[in-house]
Amino acid sequence: MSYKTSALSLASAAIAAFLSALPARAQDEYSQVELGAQYSLIRETNSNLQAATFSGLGGRFDWNFSRRLALESQLDFFPQHGVPLPLIQGGRTLQAVFGLRAKALQTRSISVFGLIRPGLLHFTDVEVPSQQSAGSFSTQPATYFVLNLGGGIEYYPAPRWILRADIEGDPYRVPAYTGSFVQPGKINDTTRLSFGVAYRAGALQENEHEPNVPGNWEFGPLFSAMAIAREGLTENVRTEPGVGGYASYRLYGVFYLDGDLLYFPRGTNSSGPHDGGTILQGLVGLKGGIRRNHVGFFGKVRPGFNSYSDALTGVTALGSSYARSTAFVLDLGGIFEFYPNQRSTLRVEAGDSHIYFGTQPLNVSGTTEPSLGGNLQHSIQLVLGYGWRF
């Protein structure tokens, strides 16, 4: 399910970036308010521990700042009962998200848009250890933070009516359980697909003139908060603060070479074979989108690395040994920029950083044993920055 989410996110970003490079004729009019309803599908796990698709219905409200940029809220309810899994899912599902929608391409008939919408994911019956009987389980409601990232296509059959399809990845934070037994936390991930119709309410407004934003180079400092599962810790899902910088260069049209370098200084009091100590993160790749009217909105696909300062390399009678360990990372998500003047940029990034741990050798009392990397892991990352353009 996680690999499928990654592929869908990557394909969506590539399609949006390609389409945004095409010449476009603007829509004639838009309204400040849009009201919509949708049929949605979400991927969860069935009783055979395989991926299953659940159906749901919901509604959407948009407040348009301009014809391209809007604040969007969406609520979906999935009435089918998912199988209860320890803290991860179970029962009926409710999702509420609120954030930004930005159109990279818009013609008279269609538009291609991106979404960055944090919110909440609620399950009615997740599995937890019973307080009444040791070794047994009960169910209870659980609500988790989710970062809804994706994009879609709109079609305009009439001035006031909108048909829409969108696809998103839904990484969400599952905390560790440290009661009668210990279950590590994780950043779980699922996929959602929606098909909907919307109505433009209120007065229709003519599209405004959209001046380009100047500047090919951009750089500046960053502050990051990354929700990540740390290996070797009992309560291993925590938010790591980090600082660093970014640089961006326009390659052609709407495509930019973009990179972050971030340092997360908080160490760990225990380590695993892949992770421990402080984290140095480097990401370099492409962002593609649009800069108009003091705002920019981009999708990002940036490979890179997480380098851990004190991963466990050996355990002997004399103690433990540690060394640096580096893992491949693929950062998928979006970037929103606001341009208060001709030379400055306020930047917000949101992403799902996919971490791929490889097999590492571990010396146990003189015998080298392989420590398997295991499955793909996710981390939810939010980044704030200030930059200068020239």
Residues facing 88 on adjacent strands:
none
* 295-316 and 360-364 strand pairing: parallel
* 255-264 and 191-206 strand pairing: unpaired
Question: Tokens at residue 317, please?
Answer: 């009678």
List, in order, residues 6 or more apart from 49 with CB less than 8 Å away: none
Query: What's the pLDDT score for residue 134?
Result: 65
At residue 8, what are phi and psi to the nearest 5 degrees? -65, -45
pLDDT per residue over 210-241, tens digit each?
888 888 999 999 999 999 999 877 668 899 99
Domains and CATH numbers, the chain: 2-206 (2.40.160.20), 217-389 (2.40.160.20)
Half-sphere exposure of 225 (CA within 13 A, CB side): 5
**In degrees to the nearest 10, what's the CA dihedral of 96, 86, 182, 331?**
-50
Query: What's the pLDDT score for residue 185?
Result: 86
What's the rounded Cα separation, in Å, for the pair 331 and 111?
A: 25
What's the rounded Cα separation, in Å, for the pair 148 and 92?
A: 19
Mean pLDDT of successive 10-residue segments in the chain (390 residues)?
A: 46 46 56 97 82 94 94 97 90 97 91 96 90 75 96 96 97 83 84 97 87 92 96 82 98 94 93 93 96 92 97 90 95 96 95 93 88 87 97
What's the rounded Cα separation, in Å, for the pair 75 and 59?
A: 6
What's the rounded Cα separation, in Å, for the pair 295 and 346?
A: 9
Hey, what amino acid is at 73?
S
Question: Tokens at residue 209, please?
Answer: 């003139």
Query: What's the pLDDT score for residue 319?
Result: 87
CB 45 within 8 A of CB 83: yes
What size, in residues, is the chain? 390
Query: What's the pLDDT score for residue 366?
Result: 84
What's the rounded Cα separation, in Å, for the pair 28 and 204?
A: 9
Three-state SS across the chain?
Answer: CHHHHHHHHHHHHHHHHHHHCCCCCCCCEEEEEEEEEEEEEEEEECCCCCEEEEEEEEEEEEEECCCCEEEEEEEEEEEEEEEEEECCEEEEEEEEEEEEEEEEEECCCEEEEEEEEEEEEEEEEEEEECCCCCCCEEEEEEEEEEEEEEEEEEEEEECCEEEEEEEEECCEEECCEECCCEECCEEECCEEEEEEEEEEEEEEEECCCCCECCCCEEEEEEEEEEEEECCCCCCCEEEEEEEEEEEEEEEECCEEEEEEEEEECCCCCCCCCCCCCCEEEEEEEEEEEEEECCEEEEEEEEEEEEEEEEEEEEEECCEEEEEEEEEEEEEEEEEEEECCCCCEEEEEEEEEEEEECCCEEEEECCEEEEECCCCCEEEEEEEEEEEEEC
Query: What's the pLDDT score for residue 26?
Result: 45
**In degrees to the nearest 10, what's the CA dihedral of 25, 31, 35, 38?**
0
